[in-house]
Chain A
Amino acid sequence: MARYVRKRLALAIPTILLASLVVFLMLFLIPGDPASIYVGEQTATPERLAEIRRVMGLNRPLHVQYADFLWRALRGDLGRSLQTNRPVLDEILGRLPGTIALAATAMAIAVTAGLGLGLASGLRQNTLVDTLAMLVALLGVSVPVFWLALLLILLFAVHLQWLPATSSSGLRGLVLPAVSLALLSAATLARLVRASILDVLRLDYLTTARAKGLAARTVVLRHALPNAILPVITAMGLQFGALLSGAVITETIFARPGLGKLVVDSIQSKDLPTVQGVILVLAGIYVLMNLLVDLSYVLIDPRIRFE
């Protein structure tokens, strides 16, 4: 078990290091003088640019600058936003709760709907329930998030006027963004749960469980589900990434202040430090989530504990 944990940690650290390297190099890959990117304005005097280069340490060798970048990032210093001149970390921390609330709500909806639909169709294979559930799942996979969100706004905000279209006002404002963000993940999970439960139901030990007269409920809940759930948990980790990407789109559509909207706005206003900061933080969150999923196997799958 200790070996398993060590191995997972050993995978996560280089991953986040490489991501930070890519983020660091962005400044030097953008066509033009790094110093003038930091001023933002096109017409800085050469003296001013030289001054910026000196202050920012842009004259030092790249590896020294990268080490400095990493060290500062570790201490939470992600530079200052070119737009607001506030520390990037403050900008990010101000918007992080909004994104986490959105992603967590969407994940809860996705898992509930995905498990429900998947179990309903898997346990009643080739019935009307199965066909309908899989039709919903197919639609969920093929409809782009940004279009679904627009349709939901048209129906629930414009015509029925049940829910607000653009706001962050409490729970009511969270419903439409979270539902549209959740649909793709719910559909993916439903298909996976169905396939997984069908695989497990064919195994011998379940025939035994049924043969010894256990109630259908017990067979499913105590015997089938624990084994069918493992691939689903892996997928949930991956779906979290899909939710983060989806948040970039959903936040923009619903004008919700969050990390996704922040990064899109910053790209458009050429606010490089903010773009770098948000991408670094999103990458970090993602790696951390996957690490947690991997480590949760220790609790869920006894085979790993006794390895």
Chain B
Amino acid sequence: MTEKGPQATARHRGAPGLWGDALRRLARNRGAVAGGAVFGLFLLMALAAPLLSPHDLIRLNVAESLEPPSLRHWLGTDQFGRDVLARIIHGARVSMAMGVAAVTISVVLGSALGLLSGYYRGPVDLLVMRVVDVMLAFPGILLALVIIAVLGPNLASATIAVGVSGMPLFVRVVRSSTLTVRALQYVEAAQVAGSGDLRVLVRHVLPNVVTPVIVLVTLGIPAAIVAGAALSFLGLGAKPPTPDWGEMLSKGRAFMGTAWWLSTFPGLAIAVVVLAINRFGDGLRDALDPRMTL
């Protein structure tokens, strides 16, 4: 006990533990910092959209329709005379909210199933893993199309479709972490001390599977944003007049001969945000656990 004392205090003062170390490693990764900054900027833009947006979003102004980029309309106007920049800023809300909501669905469903599967093992595990295997055996879009066909083509069902299709990876990762953790002595100790299954799962197992889940979430959001934009582009997600990046591109397709800006800038927004979050996610993965192979 006396030997451990000074070491323990030193550790408390000097090294802030897993998260402090990870933050320091992350700060050294320039690509990740830049990615995080751009992501933060887009998040801010999405949150402050009503304050930032220079022009009225809904008001139609046919007199100014299909104007090329200018000082008045930085990114031009669409066929109804609506400002493209304003719609991209508001579109950030729809596209990013959809990405985050979809990944939330993946995380909640996936973690719950993964925890149950890894903790109880036996028939529950067998059933869950068979279903996950089959889900992973098919390209995600097939399941997404099934879900959208059942629920109807709109933004909510597209979000659910993307979320459910993204779930299997979370089940796998959480399950394998749970399998490792549940074999540790302190879990056994908690069980012997009389903690119920739910308490053991939430208090003792869950905190230990959080790291890989955080990395999966950061890498899952850009994928969900692209999938959501693709579905909106196909007319299976957000519907006009909701400003969604995918929907804007889809409408811009009709004016490619006359208004190149309509099919260029919303796509650029998607590409930039996806690249930024991916760089940040890669950095976060390396910082949290350099050996992780997600």
Q: Does A227 touch B at the CB level, under 8 Å? A: no
Main secondary structure of the interface of B (DSSP, over half): helix
- A143 to B229: give the CA distance in the assembly, Å: 12
CA of A26 to CA of B145, assembled, Å: 11
Q: Is the CB of A267 within 8 A of B145?
A: yes
In the complex, what's the smallest C-beta–C-beta distance from A47 to chain B, in angstroms? 28
Asked if B271 and A147 sit within 8 Å, CB to CB, the answer is: yes
Chain A residues positioned under 8 Å from B72 (CB to CB): none
Q: Which of the 9-residue segments B16-24, B54-62, B262-270 touches chain A? A: B262-270
> A298 on the interface (CB 8 Å rule)?
no
Name the contact of A150 in the complex, choosing from B139, B230, B249, B275 (C-beta under 8 A): B249
**Neighbouring A residues of B263 by C-beta, 8 Å:** 147, 150-151, 154
Interface size class of B (residues with CB under 8 A): 35 or more
Q: What does the 1/0 interface line of B144-188 toward A look like (CB < 8 Å)?
A: 011011100100000000000000000000000000000000000
Bound-state CA distance A248–B235 (Å) is 12
Q: Does A29 contact B (CB under 8 A)?
A: yes
Q: Which residues of the other chain, B, contact A151 by a CB distance below 8 angstroms?
A: 263-264, 267
* B39 proximal to A (CB < 8 A): no
Contact B249 A146 (CB under 8 A): yes
- Alpha-carbon distance A279/B143, docked complex (angstroms): 9
Distance, CA A241 to CA B135, complexed state (A):
13
B278 contacts the other chain (CB 8 A): yes
Option from A142, A157, A241, A248 in Cβ contact (under 8 Å) with B275: A142
Give bound CA distance, A287 to B131, whole Å: 15
Docked-complex contact B230 and A268, CB < 8 angstroms = no
B252 at the interface (CB under 8 A from A): yes
Q: Which residues of the other chain, B, contact A197 by a CB distance below 8 angstroms?
A: none
Per-residue A-contact encoding for B116-146, CB less than 8 Å = 1, 0 else:
0000000000000011011001111111011
Of residues 7 through 44 on chain A, the ones whose CB sits less than 8 Å from some CB of chain B are 14-15, 18-19, 22-23, 26, 29-30
Does A275 lie at the interface of the complex (its beta carbon under 8 Å from any beta carbon of B)? yes
Residues of B within 8 A of A145 (CB): 230
Chain A's interface size range is 35 or more
In the complex, A39 Cα to B133 Cα: how many Å? 36
Known contacts A150-B256, A279-B145, A142 near B278 by CB under 8 Å: yes
A267, B134: Cβ atoms under 8 Å? no
Question: What chain A residues lie within 8 Å of B131 (beta carbons)?
Answer: 18
The reply to whether B267 and A144 form a contact with Cβ atoms under 8 Å apart is yes
Contact B253 A242 (CB under 8 A): no
Smallest distance from the beta carbon of B130 to chain A beta carbons, Å?
A: 8
- The answer for the CA separation of A244 and B253 in the assembled complex, in Å, is 22
> For the complex, is B42 an interface residue (Cβ under 8 Å from A)?
no
Chain B CB within 8 A of A168 CB: no
Could you give 23 example pairs across A and B, Cβ below 8 Å? A15-B137, A18-B134, A22-B143, A143-B267, A144-B229, A144-B274, A146-B233, A146-B246, A147-B271, A150-B256, A150-B267, A151-B267, A158-B257, A165-B256, A241-B138, A252-B234, A263-B145, A264-B236, A267-B148, A267-B153, A268-B153, A268-B236, A286-B138
| A residues in contact (CB < 8 Å) with B | 14-15, 18-19, 22-23, 26, 29-30, 142-147, 150-151, 153-154, 157-158, 165, 241-242, 244-245, 248-249, 252-253, 263-264, 267-268, 272, 275, 279, 282-283, 286-287, 290
Residues of B bordering A, CB below 8 Å: 130-131, 133-134, 137-143, 145-146, 148-150, 153, 226, 229-230, 233-236, 246, 249, 252-253, 256-257, 260, 263-264, 267-268, 270-271, 274-275, 278
Q: A14-B134, A147-B271, A279-B142 are in contact. List 16 more A-B contacts (CB 8 A).
A: A19-B134, A30-B150, A143-B271, A147-B263, A147-B268, A150-B252, A150-B253, A151-B264, A165-B256, A249-B233, A249-B234, A252-B234, A267-B149, A268-B236, A275-B145, A283-B142
Sorted nearest first, the 7 A-B pairs with minimum C-beta distance are A147-B267, A241-B139, A245-B141, A150-B263, A142-B275, A245-B139, A29-B150
